[in-house]
Amino acid sequence: MELLHELSRDRLLSTIIFDPGCVQINSNIKRVSDYQFRKEIEVGFEMSWLKAMREKEPPEPVNPIGTVVIGTLHPEVMDTAKDMVRRSLKLAQFKTVDVGKGVSPATFASKAREVNADIIVVSVLLTAAKENLPKLISAMELEGLKGKTVIIGGAAVTKEDADKIGALFGKTREDAVVLAKKAIEQKRTRT
């Protein structure tokens, strides 16, 4: 048997006992040492990063069902989650235009206008980037894109945040694909 801990720094947490045949949760309360926490975070991050990097880049769709501009807002520096969503949208036959990471709201909006995007997708992992969402909506209005579909997701945002700016919220990359397909379907029924 091996003793593992849930990831949490300086918080009380449950101990998980791992036995090759069975996993049980023990209600004993323990503290995780800084060293152990760093090692578990490194392993957890490395595993998700490796999984994302192993995914092959899908080909561009021949007959895309819509165009999506995707990126992260300033000061975001991570783009692994954004890339996973982008690949999923590409596999679902969307043309994706990646504006990159840490992009200003004005750059995001101008690129959406330039490529005549149907949907704008924003990955938000930092609270500071979340604070730029209202600026993105304002920049879109200045570019004449009021009413375009915006989908947000990531660790720093919730459905309530999306509702505040009139956006859709997806918790996973699968959610982003479902929401994007629904948005395109609604656009087609309006026309």
Q: What is the pLDDT of residues 129-167, one digit of tens each?
A: 999 999 999 999 999 999 999 999 999 999 999 999 999
- Within 104-172, strands assigned E span 119-123, 149-153, 168-169
Only one residue has tokens 């092959």, namely 56
> Which residue ranges form the domains of the chain, and what is each CATH number?
2-54 (no CATH), 66-190 (3.40.50.280)
Q: What is the model's pLDDT at position 21?
A: 39
Q: Which of 129, 118, 137 is nearest to 153 (CA)?
A: 129
The better pLDDT of the pair 31, 151 is held by 151
Q: How many CA atoms lie within 13 A of 60 on its CB side?
A: 7
Tell me: cis bond preceding 61? Omega within 30 of 0 counts: no
0.95 exceeded by pTM: no
